[in-house]
Structures are given as C-alpha cells and as structure tokens.
Amino acid sequence: MATKKFLELQEFSDADLQSELKDTEAQYQKLKFDHAIKGLENPLVLREVRRDIARLRTEIRRREVAAMSPEQLANRSKIRSRRRRR
C-alpha cells in the first residue's frame, strides 16, 4: 500500500521535486548539527527526514527511468546483469 507522502510526491512537478529535495537535505543537515550540539527533543525526527529524502530520490529516479528510451533501457539492463554476476 502506498503511503500518503508517496502519493503526494507523485503530484509534484520535476522542478518541485528537485527543490523539495534540496530543502529537505538542508533541513536534515541542520537537524544533525543541532542534535550533535545540543540534542533534539525527539531524535526520531532524523529518521523521518532521512526517509523523506529517500522517497524524493526514489520518485526522481522513477521518473528518469520512465523517460528513458528503449535503447537506454536495454543498456541499463545489460549493466544491471553484469553487476549481478559479480
């Protein structure tokens, strides 16, 4: 089942996703710094923000793969199969 946040991200444009990723990464860095210096009231916020970053990156990558041409997809499949053999 898709999460609410994931469904919300699907409605964003590509530019919105990139700006949201940039803002979320900046927020994560600030939270990490604050946690190291004075501690956070709820340190689980770090985990939530990290997962939000992962959701954003996943959606961006999903769109990149969906926009690939058949030749690019075939090349990607070859690369992935070589990685599996190792």
For the chain, what are the domain ranges? 4-85
Note whether 52 and 23 are within 8 A (CB): no
Is residue 25's pLDDT more than 90?
A: yes
Average the pLDDT over 24-31 and give the result. 96
pLDDT band at 2 (very low <50, low <70, confident <90, very high): low
- In this prediction the pTM is 0.82
Note whether 35 and 43 are within 8 A (CB): yes
pLDDT band at 18 (very low <50, low <70, confident <90, very high): very high
- Cα–Cα distance for residue pair 40/46, rounded to 1 Å: 9
Q: What are φ and ψ of residue 69, in 5° steps?
A: -75, 165
Report the pLDDT value the prediction gives residue 6, as an integer from 0 to 100. Answer: 80
40: Cβ contacts below 8 Å, ≥ 6 apart: 31, 34, 46
Is residue 24's pLDDT more than 70?
A: yes
User: Please, what CATH class does the domain formed by 4-85 belong to?
Assistant: mainly alpha
